[in-house]
Amino acid sequence: MVTLADLQVKTVGPSTITSPLASYVGGRTTNEYYVGADDRILFDDTVELVRSRGLPLDELPTFETGGPRELIHFDPATTRVGIVTCGGLCPGLNDVIRALVLELHEHYGVDDVLGFRNGYAGLVPESGLQPIPLTSEVVANIHERGGTMLGSSRGAQDVGTIVDTLQMRGLSILFVIGGDGSMRGAHRIAEECLRRGNGIAVVGVPKTIDNDIPHIGQSFGFQTAYARASQSIKAAKIEAEAAINGIGIVKVMGRHAGFIACYSALANHNADFVLIPEVPFALHGDNGLLAHIRRRVERDGNAVLVVAEGAGQEHLPVTDETDASGNRALGDIGRFLREVIREEWTARGEEVMLRYFSPGYFIRSVPADPADAVYCARLAQTAVHAAMAGRTDMVVGRRRHRFVHVPIEYVTHRAHGVSADGDLWLSVLESTSQPHDMT
């Protein structure tokens, strides 16, 4: 069970310098729309959850609030900052880079910012990759295209060598934009910096298109991803309706978490079945998926399945293959379902038209939509405020509409997924009218 101690954020030293933003926040106190710097944000959000802990108010688990402070730790005139993007692509990466640079330059007066290329690989000398000086002019228009101007990569690098590079480059702050594996790397870098006492702060802006990092609210880029995925679902529906016994299958990203599948299906109510890693299903038998698809096609003339890439892996051969990040290679559940559905109809001597859509790489490489772009800007601003105040070994997030600081170790201690007992999955079942249990 989480405790107050679990949520304490580390610092590299005291804040004694008056912030350039002191006039922005001077005299502000907590109200309905703002949380003061000395206030904290409750972990629990219902009376029953709070009551069940049986703790006095000052011992309840709470998050440090995000936002500018009147006093900061780093002197902007002598601060050098590094930015690195790691892991797979996601809408909004360039937006975050841009907002970090603009906040540092225009509000804190930090003019020395380096962008390290191709993820952590750019932080080890043997890569031969030289960092890019980042100015307001350099980043002015990068948000208009997807991907990351800095490049990215997967795979671990030696932590000691990375910290040697940070020290050699004279960095005060490193911003890491990446997923859970990248955040584990950031945690190890921060720990090594603290062990050496070099005063370098490490702050993460967590990125996961699957939305599977806990305690940060919603990941940036996720809204853009499910909005784009919903367009493929609409196309699958149109194709299925135009054919005799038409069945559309849309495979979306989601190795361990079915959030994109759920939200994209809810966005247009065109899906008849949503399959996610968190909810197992049987293929055969009267209550199996194939029987339910048959009944839906008999009733409506067509059916659309939305499938997260990690769903139904129990029906596929197990492989020992892994990617550069150490993730086990998944079987292609979309193609598998296409084949077993075709075999089912063919065995009965019936006509079926199958259309298979797999929009994953198209989705993750597009620019952020306006809502995500706003979120990226606010996350980046919050990250800069935290770093300049000397916070380290932490990530920024938005917990129930409040921006918060979360220790990296706490956001990487478990996976985050769709709860089969939660209200999101209930909404999906209501939208699709699929059985609540197909096992």
Active site residues: 210
Inter-residue contact 248 to 304 (CB < 8 Å): yes
* 218: amino acid identity, one letter: Q
Inter-residue contact 180 to 212 (CB < 8 Å): yes
User: 331 a known binding residue?
Assistant: no
User: 410 a known binding residue?
Assistant: no
User: 210 a known binding residue?
Assistant: yes
Beta strands 201-206 and 173-178, pairing class = parallel
User: 182 a known binding residue?
Assistant: yes
Distance of CA 218 to the CA centre of its chain: 7
DSSP-derived 3-state class of residue 24 = helix
User: 87 a known binding residue?
Assistant: no
User: 179 a known binding residue?
Assistant: yes
Distance CA 409, CA 241 (A): 48
User: 177 a known binding residue?
Assistant: no
User: 241 a known binding residue?
Assistant: no
Distance CA 280, CA 1 (A): 27
Inter-residue contact 293 to 434 (CB < 8 Å): no
Lookup: tokens for 11 = 């610092």
User: 363 a known binding residue?
Assistant: yes
Distance CA 30, CA 26 (A): 12
Distance of CA 288 to the CA centre of its chain: 32
Which DSSP symbol is given to 58?
A: G
Distance CA 205, CA 395 (A): 6
User: 388 a known binding residue?
Assistant: no
User: 162 a known binding residue?
Assistant: no
Inter-residue contact 333 to 316 (CB < 8 Å): yes
SS3 per residue for 144-156: HCCCCCCCCCCCC
Helix H or strand E segment including 211: none
Inter-residue contact 247 to 297 (CB < 8 Å): yes
Distance CA 147, CA 55 (A): 46
First vs last C-alpha separation in the chain: 31
User: 362 a known binding residue?
Assistant: yes
DSSP-derived 3-state class of residue 83 = strand
User: 88 a known binding residue?
Assistant: yes
- Please count the helices (runs of H) and the strands (runs of E) in the chain: 14, 17
Distance CA 187, CA 412 (A): 9
User: 397 a known binding residue?
Assistant: no
Distance CA 174, CA 113 (A): 10
Q: Which residues are annotated as a binding site for ATP?
A: 88, 154-155, 179-182
Q: Which residues are annotated as a binding site for Mg(2+)?
A: 180
Q: Which residues are annotated as a binding site for substrate?
A: 208-210, 253-255, 309, 361-364
Q: Which residues are annotated as a binding site?
A: 88, 154-155, 179-182, 208-210, 253-255, 309, 361-364
